[in-house]
Amino acid sequence: MRIDVFTLFPEVFEPYLNLSILARARERGLLDVHLYNIRDWTTDKHRTVDDEPYGGGGGMVMKPEPIFAAVEDVLGRPPRAPVILMTPQGRPFTQEVAWQLSRLPRIALIAGRYEGLDERVREHLVTDELSIGDYVLTGGELPALVVIDAVTRLLPGVLGDPDAPLKDSFSQGLLEHPHYTRPAVFRGWSVPEVLRSGDHARIARWRREQSLRRTWERRPDLLARAPLTPEDRAYLATLGWRERSKPASSASDAEAPESSTN
């Protein structure tokens, strides 16, 4: 998969992209990231990328010309791949969106800075907008890295265990079960007996129940959309869950619609 990133700070990306799983994916040609500095497409001697907002008010706005020039130079006019703007106003970036993007041969990410971007970039260049959560960062660089990371680990061949992404939290609509490794007893805290029993059917049932319990306790909103078997429903009922119900104390609200900010 090829990912073209347009940013004013390409140097932010390299250290992270050169580590661990992402570095190996790049070495093996599974991920091809190209970083472009938007400033390289300015035409004035000060290499200006921002200007004051029409209508006044504080802050600066990123000018449209260098962004259009950069993206069209690299991707053609019109661009030959989805052009995704990282912004807190975008649709929520979820594991489902990561799966969808991972099936594309190529995407472009724009990491904005300053107070915002000239609206014409949004209207006439960008094809999708993504937010990584309801908070505001100083720029789209970290969000772009989040997208690259989440998408890359789903690309075929990137993770050693090809089934690993299917077991992740969210991939089955539930949070993952807890994990343990040696020692069997640490500071008096034991690994649950069932995990040492060697009884694979029992272990699978325990993990499924832990996953259901965690999701119910921490993210009951996910249960409303998760594919549940009759056994899952019966187990959840023992915890006090009923279709469309909430646990006694939970930060999440099962009924609230997905929201995005400003």
State the binding string over 140-169 for ligand ADE (x if CB under 6 A, else -): x--x--------------------------
Please name the residue that has the structure tokens 């909103």. Answer: 221
Q: Is 7 in the site for ligand ADE (CB under 6 A)?
A: no
State the Cα torsion 226-104-140-63 to the nearest 10°.
Answer: -140
Please confirm, yes or no, whether 209 is among the known catalytic residues.
no
In angstroms, rounded to a whole number, what is the distance separating the alpha carbons of residues 111 and 85? 7
Nearer to ligand ADE, 92 or 173 (CB): 92
Are 110 and 83 within 8 A, CB to CB? Answer: yes
Nearer to ligand ADE, 116 or 173 (CB): 116
Nearer to ligand ADE, 115 or 243 (CB): 115
Q: Is the peptide bond before 183 cis (omega within 30 degrees of 0)?
A: yes
Q: How far is CA 185 from the centre of its chain?
A: 35
Are 233 and 179 within 8 A, CB to CB? Answer: no
> Residue 110 Cβ, how far from ligand ADE at the closest point, in Å?
10
Please confirm, yes or no, whether 88 is among the known catalytic residues.
yes
Candidate ranges 125-133, 160-168, 178-186, 244-252; the one touching ligand ADE (CB under 6 A): 125-133
Please confirm, yes or no, whether 11 is among the known catalytic residues.
no
In angstroms, rounded to a whole number, what is the distance separating the alpha carbons of residues 130 and 110? 10
- Of 168, 209, 217, 221, the catalytic one is 168
Please confirm, yes or no, whether 153 is among the known catalytic residues.
yes
Q: Which of 8, 12, 71, 86 binds ligand ADE (CB under 6 A)?
A: 86
> Residue 236 Cβ, how far from ligand ADE at the closest point, in Å?
32
At CB < 8 A and 24+ separation, what contacts does 242-246 make?
A: 245/220, 246/220
Which residues are known to be catalytic? 88, 115, 153, 168
Positions touching ligand ADE (CB under 6 A) are: 86-88, 131-133, 135-137, 140, 143
